[in-house]
């Protein structure tokens, strides 16, 4: 068997769908389906079965998955053994985070790190999936979570507050009774989607967005209100808070790495740099920088 075949079974196991596995491996959906069928034919047994809209592994598939996990661990161990603490600060460093963080708060920090370490090739990848770190497709992940995966090591570097925002003009109209309060339907992340459903009491909305920066544009146009992280909403001059942040909507910002990367000098240098830079922005991240709060 080829390692590429094992990776496909592992990806299906992790994602639960063929399309999710295709996204993890950056291939076409049809490629995953074709390769799984070919592998089943080669082995003479079914590896996956469909159950309530998702795929689960058969007993044979579970054995393939377990073998793939052992092989993945061995490969990661080889990578770690080759990355000594005295490695020079040069080479490729792959960082994954979400778009709303990468293009706002983190970009000045990435730029500063690149200027300080010009021999490091910094690759920033936008994704909300932690599997790309588990699969060693990235070296560092910066994530918003209150429960990061146990398979990764990391540090909670800040608390990120969120609340409801709308455009200044729109909220003035709502408060004057000239407009009804409308919620945007958002699915950029599970947190905002869940909070919106709980607060609005509805799962159907006139305008829907699956990306945070698109949501900000919709808010500017006065299409309604939506949850935003305070460090984003407070810096948008056309937006203002509809209400003050509540602690139950706080998230931790984590810098996560694979256990085998703990001896990688590039990873550790980047981690320490980002910890300092992010913690320097804690007041803004926690929602204390708004004039409405400071005053």
User: Closest Cα to residue 197, out of 210, 184, 207?
Assistant: 184
Q: What per-residue confidence (pLDDT) applies to 295? A: 36
Are both 91-160+250-294 and 162-249 of the same fold?
yes
CB–CB of 80/261 below 8 Å?
yes
* pLDDT-flagged residues of the chain (< 70): 75-88, 128-136, 289-295
Domain boundaries 3-82, corresponding CATH code? 1.10.10.10
Structure tokens at 252: 């931790």
**Cross-strand partners of 123:** 94
Q: What per-residue confidence (pLDDT) applies to 292? A: 46
* Domain ranges for the chain: 3-82, 91-160+250-294, 162-249
The fold of 162-249 is: D-Maltodextrin-Binding Protein; domain 2 (3.40.190)
Q: What is the pLDDT of residues 220-236, one digit of tens each?
A: 999 999 999 999 999 99
Q: What per-residue confidence (pLDDT) applies to 81? A: 54
Q: What per-residue confidence (pLDDT) applies to 86? A: 47
Distance CA(186)–CA(211), nearest Å, equals 8
* Torsion angles phi and psi, residue 99, rounded to 5: -60, -40
CATH class name, domain 91-160+250-294? alpha beta
- Local structure of 289: helix, strand or coil: coil
Task: For the beta carbon of residue 20, count every other beta carbon within 10 angstroms.
Answer: 19
What does DSSP assign to residue 225?
B
Distance CA(57)–CA(60), nearest Å, equals 8
């Amino acid at each position: 068997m080829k390692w590429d075949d094992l990776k496909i079974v592992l990806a299906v196991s992790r994602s639960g769908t063929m399309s999710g596995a295709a996204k993890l491996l950056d291939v076409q959906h049809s490629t995953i389906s074709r390769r799984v069928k070919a592998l089943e034919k080669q082995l003479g047994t079914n590896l996956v079965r469909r159950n309530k809209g998702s795929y689960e592994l058969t007993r044979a598939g579970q054995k393939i998955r377990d073998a793939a996990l052992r092989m993945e661990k061995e490969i990661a161990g080889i990578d770690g053994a080759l990355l000594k603490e005295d490695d020079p600060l040069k080479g490729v460093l792959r960082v994954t985070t979400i778009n709303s963080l990468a293009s706002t708060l983190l970009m000045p920090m990435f730029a500063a790190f690149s200027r300080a370490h010009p021999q490091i090739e910094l690759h920033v990848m936008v994704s909300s999936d932690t599997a790309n770190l588990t699969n060693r497709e990235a070296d560092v992940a910066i994530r918003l979570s209150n429960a990061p995966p146990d398979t990764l090591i990391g540090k909670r570097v800040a608390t990120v507050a969120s609340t409801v925002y709308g455009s200044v003009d729109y909220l003035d109209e709502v408060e004057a009774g000239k407009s009804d309060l409308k919620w945007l339907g958002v699915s950029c992340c599970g947190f905002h989607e869940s909070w919106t459903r709980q607060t609005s009491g509805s799962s159907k909305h006139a305008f829907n967005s699956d990306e945070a920066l698109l949501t900000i544009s919709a808010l500017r146009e006065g299409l309604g209100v939506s949850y935003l992280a305070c460090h984003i909403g407070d810096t948008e001059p056309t937006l203002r808070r509809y209400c003050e942040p509540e602690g139950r909507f706080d998230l931790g910002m984590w810098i996560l790495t694979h256990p085998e990367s703990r001896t990688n000098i590039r990873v550790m240098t980047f981690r320490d740099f980002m910890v300092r830079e992010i913690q320097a922005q804690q007041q803004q991240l926690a929602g204390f920088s708004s004039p409405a709060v400071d005053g």
